[in-house]
Chains A and B, each alone.
Chain A
Amino acid sequence: MSAGDLSAGAATTRGGSSDAPAAAAPSPIAVVEGVEWIHECFPEGGGHLHVSVYLVRAPGGNILVDSGSFYHRERLAARIRGATAGEGIRSLILSHSDYPHSGNIPSLRGEWGDFEIVASCADPELQGLPYARRARIGETLEILGRPFTFLDPPLADRSHTTWVYDGGSRVLFVADGFGTIHPPGACERFWGALPEEGRAQGVAEFHRQTLRWLEYVDPDRLLDTLARMFERHPVAAVAPIHGPPIGADDLDAYLATLGDAVRAIAGRKRNHPRKDDDG
């Protein structure tokens, strides 16, 4: 089983997913031409947290970015089936092996065969991915006829995470950073279309809860690194796994909001050392 067997084995009572009937699932949403957002949500912090995947239409077939959580397993599979007219996927690019990102690899491979899996970890066996093709940070790989560049992610939790820049569409796929906790009912909206009230708090709360190391950060050092990344890799959109897509027109606003969030999180540690270490 890929990525270890925590989800299968620790299945104490839930034993699967919270899937609503697949028939009720919305269609994927186009981010740009050839890249579609298949969004799923999980309740967090009084709102919703996206646990999404993205479908890339490459010349050689369909590529999935991340596999999603077992929590949405049946529904996600049905949505991919519907979006691809049953053809399924021929390659999967993994941001990292954390279970909400890798948890459906076995079931997807069970349906569509041993398609290629591309992952950035240095030792795929330790991550439960002995069959993965390794992507090295900084390199560009052609996957099903499309170039993808694997970037060192400034906002991540696990060390083997990569951000993936699709040279065909100029979409940057990111995890875990760039998430936003959004209000129920706004699950299908892009970031720029979220209600302004609470939107900045959604960015701040997501990063405070998810990337706990931000409390130690020098905000300028981090934000300068992000700015340089976007200079080198201009985007048509940013496609977060844990938040709504951010169009190029909204990127400056998002980065300003993120900057405020990072400064606030870092400021808390300086003002209240050891107060919030237990989350």
Chain B
Amino acid sequence: MPPGRGNRVSANHREVLPGIHWIQECGRHRAAIADALVAGGAAWAGSGRALHVPQNAYLLAGRRTLLFDTLSPAAGDLVLDALDDILGGRPLDYLAVSHPDVPHAGNTGRILRRHPEARLVAPKAGETHALYHLDDALHVGPDDVIDLGDLTLRFPPATFLDAALHTWMSEETTRTLFPVDWLGFPHLEGECLRRTDEIDAEIGLDRLEAFHSRVMFWFQYVDVDVVRAATDDLAREFSGYRLAPAHGLVIRDDPGRYFDLMNEVVARVAETGRGGVL
């Protein structure tokens, strides 16, 4: 039986869209980022509530199941417990890693040992899969589809990325884009596992800049017009898609606003430089 389709919330996971279960690792308070935000005029970041930069994994459950990313090694128990809870004895059919970065793929081994039935899925791009033990994985790219039954997965190119061996993912039934490291932003204690339409604050430029000026540090070197053109292409291609980033909150309402905000973020980082290290 598929997991329930309600909006069930547990400590670290919830079904955020039909068949899409969001598993979140929030980690410790990011004081340095909070201080920088306050210094920049973002009073909300100095509220005394902990500031989190999350890692998200998503379990997609149709007639078959796929986990997209694994959280960091610090959350190995968390993700295994969440899988037990959500799957309820069903098999995990696929384990997909967006890219072999430790906070995204660091529990791959533990999950495969718990779920030896799972087929490992990895990005097609690049030639260095053997350096990551991904040479025997199912390699997916823009021309590939994984049919989970009620859900259909595609693997568009990672337009904005860190590691070259990288893929984004989309789910076509719910029209959800998983843009991995792009569109991340910090949230406050109490906002964990909430969609952006479920929190009191509006996500603004400051939150997106705080994340991207650290993770996409290379924005400081770009030709802003070239990045804007790529962002505008994405906005057209994924118009109306919900957004499920790896390091932010899920965006259900008004997703087009975030593409516009990201164009402002790039211009800001190109002008002011990187914000720090994450």
- Residues of A bordering B, CB below 8 Å: 1, 3-14, 18, 42-45, 49, 51, 69-71, 97-100, 120-123, 125-128, 130, 136-137, 152, 154, 156-160, 209-213, 215-218, 221-222, 225, 266, 269-270, 273-274, 277-279
Contacts and interface: CB of A to CB of B under 8 A. Distances in A.
B162 A157 contact: yes
Interface in B218-275: 218, 220-223, 226-227, 229-230, 233, 274
Most chain A beta carbons < 10 A, residue from B126, B157, B160, B221: B221
B163 interface: yes
Contact of A99 (B100, B110, B226): B100
Interface size class of B (residues with CB under 8 A): 35 or more
18 contacts: A4-B105, A6-B105, A12-B133, A42-B131, A43-B127, A51-B131, A100-B131, A121-B277, A152-B217, A156-B217, A157-B164, A158-B163, A159-B162, A159-B278, A217-B223, A269-B226, A277-B159, A278-B142
B270 to A, nearest CB: 8
B74 A14 contact: no
A218 B133 contact: no
Interface of B: 27-28, 32, 55, 72-74, 97, 100-103, 105-113, 120, 124-128, 130-137, 141-142, 157-164, 166, 214-218, 220-223, 226-227, 229-230, 233, 274, 276-278
Given A154-B221, A157-B164, A277-B159, A123 B102 contact: no
A216 B126 contact: no
B106 A266 contact: no
Most chain B beta carbons < 10 A, residue from A43, A218, A279: A279
Contacts of B135: 12, 14
B58 to A, nearest CB: 18
For the complex, would chain B's binding face be called helix, strand, loop or mixed by DSSP majority? loop
Nearest to B233: A274
A178 B172 CA distance: 40
B278 A160 contact: yes
A278 B161 contact: no
A3 B102 contact: yes
Nearest to A2: B73
